[in-house]
Structure 1
């Protein structure tokens, strides 16, 4: 019985993805979606895939830096191979976090059991991922403050402003940013994460000789995610203005951070559909870009399958 419940819990994210995708496809005009998913441009596809290489290398370096500062040494070559493997597992296993858990577990096994290394290995993965999510949130909040298209969406959603009228005012945007930050701090305090991670976070993320390296690396990695998404749009021949795309993409990526689906499938497409509709754009195009992004990310992690094959007897 307990085994069945655990299996069901692990399969729930995959089921959630299927339900969300079915709901999105039921909402869309399927002919419009097929028209949006026309033959991709090889040049833009190549650019999207090539961006994954420095993205993965920089992510591995960020993990290595975090682990080193927590006294859990990790050679860069191993970090890169493990990051590819973990990213591939995140794509093919429910929840989107099992790959991260697996690389933390394997790293912990290499540490001496009588040292802080095993626990530090787990903390390093948690903090490394948190650093990336913070950078994504920072970029999303920046678009909330400065982007006209996000202002228009907020105006329609919260202020009852007509579709053709002006965007939400600056005080409205600042209030929403403040509310988001207060909510984030409240959740962290209630969950106890601040208490348990404060010491490790101070050493690995917030120390004066680590903060800027962590922040710049995470911002660069997040920018690469956004760039890949942008390439997917252009790959499909979708010519939505760059300023509009770059404002919407971080919010779609934030939806993927919830561990409630399989590799973000369903959540990403649902968020894209809602955002594109709220911005007055072609919803089918927004979903098509999201689908192509999911496939490109899967392709970019395939070296992880090779790492897995080499380690499987």
Structure 2
């Protein structure tokens, strides 16, 4: 039922978009895209996934998980495959947790490692967006830029505050609030050396920078002539919105957000929609190595 609702939301959003965009023109834009540039975008996406897997391994090592990098890469690609191709009740994060528990690790520790990886990844996205919005202030209208700066800085401040919640001991006495208390304690234990935290956030910035470059390359493949700084500001908010699990694999939400944000700088709506669709297809193709790992793991059980 949950996936049916997501499918309906996806269809409704695309139906709304196609009311304002010429479908035949969209097909022509997609048909004229440059294959060589799309291949570069695919390689950048694969590199982004690989770097994200490396970050997960670095975090897991702090939890004394002793697996080779290849395990984390294979599991990350498998998780991406579940997210992009197999819309089910088992998401990519759940797949990664299951992979760790099959190695004999405690389910709670496996969940914690994946959760921290997700949070650090999100902080990296906020840092990238904040820096780009400040450095290239004026690329978008002032109100939009200030909104992006406010959201990014608030998210980063909230993450920083989380490290201090273990000092508020009364939180541990209330159900629900005790989760934040315990999380703060574990984070402070995990990142007793703050340089490790900054290192992992820096890796996350690199992961998302590669993803932005993917879209920049796809834009070039369909002759969207916009500078990189525009993408550095516009793309992260789209990624933030697609985190909300309202549609299938972010389809529809991503396209609507892309069109809406890039319209603020006068971009062609049809080309932006084409770029977003190409990106969605590219994510599916880039997740195919995970299908092999999934089939391989099924045969092993």
TM-score band, normalised by shorter chain: 0.7 to 0.9
CA–CA distance in structure 2, aligned partners of residues 262 and 58 of structure 1: 25
Aligned partner of 2:71 in structure 1 is: 78
State the shift of 1:175 in Å.
Answer: 5.6
Matches within 5 A, 1:276-291: 276-291=262-277
Q: Which of 242, 246, 252 is the equivalent residue of 1:266?
A: 252
User: Does the alignment pair 1:133 with 2:125?
Assistant: no
Q: Which runs of 5+ in 1 are unaligned?
A: 1-7, 158-167
- The 3-state SS of whatever aligns with 1:59 is helix
User: Does the alignment pair 1:230 with 2:216?
Assistant: yes
| Maintained 8 Å contact 2:76/2:96 | yes
Matches within 5 A, 1:115-264: 117-148=106-137, 151-152=140-141, 154-155=142-143, 192=177, 194-205=180-191, 207-264=193-250
Question: What is the RMSD of the two structures over their aligned residues, measured on CA atoms?
Answer: 3.0
State the shift of 1:235 in Å.
Answer: 1.5
Would the alpha carbon gap of residues 262 and 207 (structure 1) be closer, same or farther in structure 2, given more than 3 Å must change?
farther
How many residue pairs align between the two structures? 288
TM-score (norm 2): 0.83
Would the alpha carbon gap of residues 9 and 173 (structure 1) be closer, same or farther in structure 2, given more than 3 Å must change?
closer
CA–CA distance in structure 1, aligned partners of residues 100 and 295 of structure 2: 18
Q: Judge which range, 205-214 or 222-231, deviates more.
A: 205-214
| Maintained 8 Å contact 1:269/1:287 | yes
State the shift of 1:72 in Å.
Answer: 3.2
CA–CA distance in structure 2, aligned partners of residues 58 and 20 of structure 1: 32
CA–CA distance in structure 2, aligned partners of residues 175 and 57 of structure 1: 31
| Maintained 8 Å contact 2:7/2:248 | yes
Would the alpha carbon gap of residues 86 and 206 (structure 1) be closer, same or farther in structure 2, given more than 3 Å must change?
farther
Would the alpha carbon gap of residues 175 and 251 (structure 1) be closer, same or farther in structure 2, given more than 3 Å must change?
closer
Would the alpha carbon gap of residues 273 and 65 (structure 1) be closer, same or farther in structure 2, given more than 3 Å must change?
same
Aligned partner of 1:165 in structure 2 is: none
- After superposition, the C-alpha distances for 1:224-283 in whole angstroms (9 at most, x for unaligned) are 111111111111222223332332122222222212222211111010111122222211
